Amino acid sequence: MVNRRLPPLRSLEAFMHTVRLGSARAAANQLGLSPSALSRRIATLEEFIGKKLFTRARQAMQLTDEGAAFHEAVLPHFEALARAVEGQSESTSLLRLHLGVLPLFGTQRLFPRLAELRRLHPILHIDIDTGPHLEDRVGDTLDAAIILSNRPSAGLHAVRLDENKVHAITNAELAETVDTSDEWIVERTGIRARHIAGEGETTATLATDAARAALEVAGLAAQDIDLIILATATPDQTFPAAATKVQAALGIDDCVAFDVAAVCSGFLYAVTVADSMIRSGAANRALVIGSETFSRILDWEDRTTCVLFGDGAGAIVLGAEESGATDPATARGILASKLHADGRHNQLLYVDGGPSTTQTVGKLRMKGQEVFRHAVVNLAAVLTEVMGIAGLSATDIDWLVPHQANARILDATARKLKLPAERVIMTVDRHANTSAASVPLALDTAVKDGRIKQGDLVMFEAMGGGFTWGASLARM
């Protein structure tokens, strides 16, 4: 996590990576430093950031060991710290704020502020760590609090912030174990960080968190759902479907639940299937989830692929709604969709294992240049198809929310459609390629930051292994 361009940041990164805001003594112990050595390290930060700013932050850290005096006043200082670092650095280093006193301060007020900090400053990574001595006191509130800390709007849930569950890895951190560099990755892909699921987290657990958050935002109970479609290429088990594990975790006794395996296009396949089932009367309300743990199928010695992917989950709720509007200019919901597949290109993007062939899980393999060429052509074509079905043109589209595979693919597709770059939602820099979770995570970002609003016309597109690809047009 070292920023090699700015030597003063070395102390900053080392300090913020490990310090817990609980007391100066606890911080020193955590770092294995004496109090005097810690003071010297803080002094180094003062030189870089400015005495006035960090003096306030240091004062805010003078708390009791129990953390009972943890004040929300810490957050403005930490935000100022983030601004200072972002202003000095061209790269995306992460500042880690460790909170070791979760049950001892007002979570209902704090976590929305943490979520806002994360939205405004992607450089921040917020860890929640209660410690074993507090687990009984936290109980079930821990997961709820973590969800609140990064709860997306519009029924979507992004990756969780608990370091033991899903945590961010920057290019610089990856370069410590893989023969690569931040410059090499950014130049070729636009990716600066990705999130990796921790021990105990699975595709189904991430999906369940996403589903719960989606239901909460939609104002619905789990029993209101009669259809769950989970798009994933990395299920917990060969069978049964991971969607049934989500169903059980939500406490739904009976509903339709199944997985869709269309890799990066999976979420759009799932949306289209759910839309069709609702329109036919086979379902009334559907949870549509994209969830992946691609880190478990990567070859971490292959720098051409392992740097590209990350883990995450997102979910939306689709429901039947009476509407007399038929004109695409005024109608809401899913307006048009188109899906494609071409199995002749299996060997360009695939996993080299399976229960029926190798009896192993296998690792991801990809011929990047060939995939790039097909993606640009196929995505531009299917977007044009969907606009034709809806009787609209590119100028009518408010936002394009594409699959976040590669910044160059996104740029090339937008150019083909003559869409201005500012109307394309791009989050590949912070999420990397999360396969079926990619589109809902990008939507989540744009809804939370206020770009996508109710009434906007939004186009979604994706292409994945198979090849499979598709697009959907919706009015929010």
Mean pLDDT of 377-392: 95
pLDDT tops 90 at residue 1: no
pLDDT of residue 417: 86
pLDDT of residue 117: 61
Mean pLDDT of 268-273: 98
pLDDT of residue 122: 57
pLDDT digits (tens, 9 = 90+) for 291-322: 999 999 999 989 899 999 999 999 999 998 87
Query: Is 345 in contact with 467 (CB distance < 8 Å)?
Result: yes
State the Cα angle at 166 between 161 and 167, rounded to 5°. Answer: 75
Query: Is 235 in contact with 241 (CB distance < 8 Å)?
Result: yes
pLDDT of residue 8: 30
What is the DSSP annotation of 95-149? EEEEE--GGGS-HHHHHHHHHHHHHH-TTEEEEE---GGGHHHHTTHHHHHHHHH
Give the residue numbers annotated as catalytic, written as ranges. Answer: 264, 403, 433
Q: Give the residue with greater pLDDT, 123 vs 367.
A: 367
Mean pLDDT of 160-173: 63
pLDDT digits (tens, 9 = 90+) for 219-230: 999 999 999 999
User: Among the listed ranges 23-32, 149-158, 294-303, 438-447, which one has the minimum average pLDDT value?
Assistant: 149-158
Torsion of CA 166, 242, 229, 169, to 10 degrees: 20
Beta-bridge partner residues of 286: 227, 318
Q: Give the residue with greater pLDDT, 290 vs 97.
A: 290
Q: Which amino acid is at 354?
A: G
- The Cα 2–Cα 72 span in angstroms is 28
Report residue 101's pLDDT band, with 50, 70 and 90 as the boundaries: very low
Report residue 427's pLDDT band, with 50, 70 and 90 as the boundaries: very high
User: Among the listed ranges 111-115, 432-436, 439-443, which one has the minimum average pLDDT value?
Assistant: 111-115
pLDDT of residue 98: 43
Q: Give the residue with greater pLDDT, 270 vs 156.
A: 270
| DSSP-assigned letter for residue 420 | -
Nearest to 262 by CA among 284, 233, 298: 233
Question: How far are the Cα atoms of 122, 252, 275 from residue 255, in angstroms, in the given order?
Answer: 38, 7, 16
Q: Give the residue with greater pLDDT, 456 vs 108.
A: 456
The strand pair at 166-170 and 124-128 is best described as unpaired
User: Among the listed ranges 42-51, 178-187, 276-285, which one has the minimum average pLDDT value?
Assistant: 42-51
Mean pLDDT of 217-245: 96
pLDDT tops 70 at residue 430: yes
pLDDT of residue 112: 56
| DSSP-assigned letter for residue 216 | H
Report residue 72's pLDDT band, with 50, 70 and 90 as the boundaries: very low
Which residues have C-beta within 8 Å of that of residue 458, sequence separation ≥ 6?
A: 397, 398, 399, 400, 401, 443, 452, 473, 474, 475, 476
User: Among the listed ranges 80-89, 134-143, 237-246, 249-258, which one has the minimum average pLDDT value?
Assistant: 134-143
Residues recorded for the chain: 476
A 10 A CB-CB count for 67 gives 20
- Model pTM score: 0.68
Q: Which amino acid is at 194?
A: R
Long-range contacts of range 164-167, CB-CB < 8 Å, 24 or more positions apart?
A: 164/129, 164/198, 164/199, 164/200, 165/197, 165/198, 165/200, 165/201, 166/195, 166/196, 166/197, 166/198, 166/201, 166/206, 166/311, 166/312, 167/125, 167/127, 167/195, 167/196, 167/198
Whether cis (ω within 30° of 0) applies to the bond prior to 105 is no
All domains in the chain, ordered by first residue: 9-149 (no CATH), 203-475 (3.40.47.10)
Report residue 325's pLDDT band, with 50, 70 and 90 as the boundaries: low
pLDDT of residue 84: 52
The strand pair at 227-231 and 256-260 is best described as parallel
pLDDT tops 50 at residue 271: yes
A 10 A CB-CB count for 368 gives 15
Report residue 39's pLDDT band, with 50, 70 and 90 as the boundaries: low
